[in-house]
Amino acid sequence: MNCREGRMSRHRLTLCAVALAGLGALPSVAQTPVPATGSGGALRAEILPAKPLFNPDCPVRVRFTLVNTSAEPVSIPLDAPLATDVAGLPLQLVFGGGELHFLAVIYESESPKEIPPPAATPAKPDAPRSLRLGAHGTVGVELDLRRYYQAVRYAGNYKLEWRPLGGAAGTVTAEFRVEPRKDAVLVTDLPGKITFALDYDAAPLNVENFLDLVRDGFYNGLTFHRVIPSYLIQGGCPSGDGKGLRKGGKLVPGEFRPEVPIDAGTLAMAHKPSDPNSASCQFFIALGRLPDLDGQYTIIGHTRDAESLRTLQQLTEVSTDRRDRPLSPLVIRSINLIAAESTRTRELESNTDEASVPADTRTR
């Protein structure tokens, strides 16, 4: 092993050892999209948004599922004959029929609003009026809610309540947020700023966790506790020593992409070496090409412009001790969110686009 290889190996081990060192692996129900469940008889209902954060001009996809928890087949009665022979959960079991509505939306702190069932498609006279579900079988469907409730396009927090069969399969809930995409702007005491384009699509859970912390002002006043020139700079630890977690100890599972290289300007989440699903609040910014870290850390963004790289280079010029800690505190004065450049472009385009365009034609 040559000197450079030895230094790179030491840096890798040091990063792993200090980033969340000594902390136990805790499950993160709040951060992980685990389906909510409720039971009633043999049937259990499950509801799961495709991701925790949606862009206003993209599909808001949610999966609805009924599960037969028994070892015997069950027959689910239908209010109207099946209008199609395509396998999947019929819409009447998602939305209800007539005056009985199964699905409601709660926006922010407003009262629940029921989503009326869509117009029924005519069925053949001999179409079945029940849905037979095998032992331990499941049937589901994934829908774009924008087609059935256009107000879901507005930015904010949403909660869904689903009571299939009038509550006979339980009442389940799911939460998600709609928000135009944001860039994150990091400012220190040194001149300039670092702007990151966040990768919403590839790392939705970790990006949402990061956004949540930024919205709460969590990072303001914290420090970069490690600076390794030509390698990385690490910060976001509430205790300032590389051992801290976000309040409540919430952890986020890894969203790894071995095919995406970690290079200069890459923003990634740190985690405990023994648990790749333990990202919390600490992050690092790569200062060069780091192939030894590819696929091991969740990438949540990348520097947006040349100014960001110049500012980042200034941060690496501070004096450090033998443990790579800055001799004088390198303070994160603020991280703020601004409208992403790509979002601003889409907003201009959407002004000439009708809301009734089918969702499938507008996916990115």
Instruction: Tell me the CATH number at 335.
Output: 2.40.100.10
Judge whether 82 lies within some domain: yes
Judge whether 17 lies within some domain: no
193 and 303 fall within a common domain: yes
* CATH, residue 142: 2.60.40
Cα separation, 61 vs 45, whole angstroms? 17
Cα separation, 254 vs 278, whole angstroms? 7
Length of the chain: 364
Return the closest-CA partner of residue 326 out of 186, 243, 198, 229: 229
Q: What integer pLDDT is reported at residue 2 of this predicted model?
A: 41
193 and 100 fall within a common domain: no
Judge whether 232 lies within some domain: yes
Number of domains the chain contains: 2
Judge whether 303 lies within some domain: yes
Q: What integer pLDDT is reported at residue 107 of this predicted model?
A: 97
Judge whether 242 lies within some domain: yes
213 and 151 fall within a common domain: no
102 and 144 fall within a common domain: yes
In this structure, how many other beta carbons lie within 10 angstroms of the beta carbon of residue 246? 21
170 and 74 fall within a common domain: yes
298 and 205 fall within a common domain: yes
User: Phi, psi (5° rounding) for residue 263?
Assistant: -135, -175
99 and 190 fall within a common domain: no
Judge whether 137 lies within some domain: yes
234 and 274 fall within a common domain: yes
Q: What integer pLDDT is reported at residue 81 of this predicted model?
A: 77
Task: pLDDT tens for the chain, 364 residues: list them.
Answer: 444 444 444 444 344 433 443 333 322 223 333 333 333 468 999 999 999 999 998 999 999 999 999 999 999 988 777 766 667 899 999 999 888 999 999 999 999 999 999 987 776 777 788 888 999 999 999 999 999 999 998 999 999 999 999 888 889 999 999 999 999 999 999 999 999 999 999 999 999 999 999 999 999 999 999 999 999 999 999 999 999 999 999 999 999 999 999 999 999 999 999 999 999 999 999 999 999 999 999 999 999 999 999 999 999 999 999 999 999 999 999 999 999 975 444 443 334 333 333 333 222 2
Q: What integer pLDDT is reported at residue 98 of this predicted model?
A: 84
Judge whether 126 lies within some domain: no
141 and 208 fall within a common domain: no
75 and 164 fall within a common domain: yes
The domain in which residue 73 lies consists of 36-120+131-178
Q: What integer pLDDT is reported at residue 346 of this predicted model?
A: 42
Judge whether 248 lies within some domain: yes
Q: What integer pLDDT is reported at residue 83 of this predicted model?
A: 67
230 and 302 fall within a common domain: yes
269 and 167 fall within a common domain: no
